[in-house]
Structure 1
Amino acid sequence: MAKFNRRQLITGFSALYLAALTAIAAYALHQTNFYSLPIPNVLSALTVALPPLAGIALESIISFQHQLVSKGKLQTSKVFQAVNVTFLIYETVLATLAGTHIAPLGGLWCPLHDKWQEMRTSRDAKSIQRIQDAFNCCGFNGPKDMAWPFPDKKHGADTCMVRFERDIGCLEPWRTTERKIAIMLLIVPVAVFLWKVALFLAPGFDAPWLPSAIRLPNDNTEEETRPRPAITYHDLEDNADEDSLRGEVNRLNKDSNLATHVEGGRIRPSPLIQETENNMWSRD
Structure 2
Amino acid sequence: MALICGLTTVASVVASACAIVALILGALSWSRTASLFLPLPQWIPVITTLFPPITALALYLANRLSSTAGTDNTHPLNRWRRLFPIADHLHSVISTIIATVALAYLYPENVLNCRLEQEWQEYFRAKDAQPIRTIQDEFRCCGFRSIHDRAWPFKDRTHGDDACEVQLGYGQSCLVPWTQQQQSASWMAFAAAVLTLLMKVAFYQAMRNRASWMSTRFGRQAPEYQRITHHPELQDGETGGDAEEGRHGTFLPRAHPRYDNEWNER
TM-score by length of 1: 0.66
Deviation of 1:159 (Å): 1.1
Q: Please give the residue correspondences for 1:10-89 in structure 2 after superposition, counting only pairs within 5 Å.
A: 18-69=19-70, 77-89=81-93
Counterpart in 2 of 1:252?
A: none
Task: Render the CA deviation track for 1:238-273: whole Å, top value 9, x for unaligned.
Answer: xxxxxxxxxxxxxxxxxxxxxxxxxxxxxxxxxxxx
Answer 1 or 2: higher relative contact order, Cα 8 Å, separation at least 6.
Answer: 2
Call closer, same or farther: CA 1:194–1:8 in 2, change over 3 Å: closer
> Does the CA contact (< 8 Å) of 1:199 and 1:205 recur in 2?
no
Call closer, same or farther: CA 1:23–1:223 in 2, change over 3 Å: closer
- Is 2:264 the counterpart of 1:228? no
SS at match of 2:70: helix
Deviation of 1:205 (Å): 3.8
SS at match of 1:179: helix
- Is 2:116 the counterpart of 1:112? yes
> Does the CA contact (< 8 Å) of 1:142 and 1:167 recur in 2?
no
- Using the alignment, how far apart are the partners of 1:134 and 1:123 within structure 2? 19
- Using the alignment, how far apart are the partners of 2:33 and 2:200 within structure 1? 28
Task: Render the CA deviation track for 1:187-230: whole Å, top value 9, x for unaligned.
Answer: 111001111111222387435xxxxxxxxxx469469957129x
When the two chains are superposed, the root-mean-square deviation of aligned CA atoms in Å is 3.7
Task: Render the CA deviation track for 1:77-112: whole Å, top value 9, x for unaligned.
Answer: 432211110100010011111111222222201110
Letter in 1 for 2:57: I
Between the aligned residues of both structures, percent identity stands at 27
* Structure 2 gaps, min length 5: 221-254
| More off after superposition, 160-169 vs 115-124 | 160-169
1:138 to 123, 137, 142: 142
SS at match of 1:201: helix
* Structure 1 gaps, min length 5: 208-217, 238-284
Counterpart in 2 of 1:243?
A: none
Deviation of 1:19 (Å): 4.6
TM-score by length of 2: 0.70
> Does the CA contact (< 8 Å) of 2:144 and 2:150 recur in 1?
yes
Deviation of 1:114 (Å): 0.5
Letter in 1 for 2:31: H
